[in-house]
A and B are shown apart, each in its own frame.
Chain A
Amino acid sequence: MKNFKTIAVTGGKGGTGKSTFALILAFKEIMKGKKVLLVDCDVECPNDYLLLGIDTLSNEIKSTVAYYPEFIKSKCKKCGLCVDNCNAGALFQLPGETPKLEKDLCSSCGVCWTICPHNAIQKKSEINGKIFKNVINDSLTLITGQSTPGVRETSPVVEQTRKYIDEISAAFDLIIIDTAAGSHCTVMRALENVDLAYSVTEPTPVGAHDLRVILQVLKVLDVPSKIVLNKKGQGNVNIIKEISSKENIKIDKYIPYDTQLAQIYSEGNFLDKSEYLSNLIYQYK
């Protein structure tokens, strides 16, 4: 592997083995003597800590925040400019009244408080998540971003987790970012400015469909990418090969379909079995 500093593990479809691959990759690199920072950016349901045998996340480093508009009634001239320009459709206004916010729809974009000509909108911060740090051993540290349950717009949690990583990354040789499933804002925030992204997929029609989508996202974000084929030996590998040749993105590695791996996953003891696991990634030819 070339000397990439920040690598993302993504893939589109859920359950293709993103976290599994991220952890195995970490073990492999640790065996080569590297100091690895694993970052769980699947903030709506992070689970890398479970696979590393941690029952409950407790070492909180800091909170993440979202900003919402708060109207200063004495200053508001009821002009409606903020309502007209709210791209999320989160603001509405009854005749002659100060606008109101439907908080669930607000993306914290800041257009309203930026354009208000009367300075009648102030930023109000609200905690929307937490960042945890677990030093697993001398070679492996886990950072977990976790959004507060019920928070709809979770990409700011990912953004702020990435920002925190920038502060501590100098102490590590390699940073592995484990993204959520899907291809929405939360995933994109995790993929921005990484040196390489592995798209983990499985040889099924849904795996293929979502691979196609995530490869498009990576192209738009200008992130170099490679495909990882999981569960090799099941399904139909040709549908993945077709995408690989059409998009000109190499199937770089594979993980065979392995019942023992599933067993280890279900028990959540990746750390104890790290030697067995690190031999499960093969170069695809």
Chain B
Amino acid sequence: MKVLVPLENKERESKISVAFGRAPFFAIVDTENDDIVFEKNQNTERAGGVGITTSQFAIDKKVDKVIVVNIGPKAENVLSSADIQIERVSKDKKLSELFNEKF
């Protein structure tokens, strides 16, 4: 399974970002082999529509699930129409903690 996690920094010890569309970075984790690919969010400077463009990014990366703190209704709508699961976690979680608990 491929999981997308919005992050504050480009590292395993980074906290999960409270924002989805405007998160500075993303981790795409392959839970089969624990591979992580870090990606810079190209949408942070956009005036609007970041929830949609970031969801499109998740679709294009063929992820099965996103783990978020918050997510807007438009992004939620796009992700669910693409059958991508949305899981919410509390803020201050680290990516490394998600590895222990979720992957």
Contacts and interface: CB of A to CB of B under 8 A. Distances in A.
Interface of A: 83, 86-95, 100, 102, 104-105
Contacts of B69: none
Contacts of A91: 52
A102 to B, nearest CB: 6
Contacts of B56: 83, 92-93
B91 interface: no
Given A94-B81, A105-B74, A88 B59 contact: no
Nearest to A91: B52
A53 B43 CA distance: 48
B48 A92 contact: no
B59 A94 contact: yes
A280 to B, nearest CB: 40
Nearest to B50: A89
Contacts of A95: 59, 62, 82
How big is the B interface, by class?
10 to 19
Contacts of A83: 56
Q: From DSSP, what is the main secondary structure of chain B's interface residues? A: helix
A93 B78 CA distance: 9
Nearest to B74: A102
A105 B82 contact: no
Interface in B43-88: 43, 46-53, 55-56, 59, 62, 74, 77-78, 81-82
A94 B52 CA distance: 12
A94 B81 CA distance: 8
Interface in B3-48: 43, 46-48
Contact of B55 (A87, A92, A104, A105): A92
A89 B52 contact: yes
A86 B59 contact: no
Q: Please list the 4 inter-chain residue pairs (A to B) with the smallest Cβ-Cβ separation, ordered nearest first.
A: A89-B49, A89-B53, A89-B52, A105-B49
A90 B59 CA distance: 15
Contact of B46 (A89, A93, A100, A104): A89
A94 B58 CA distance: 10
Contacts of A90: 49, 52
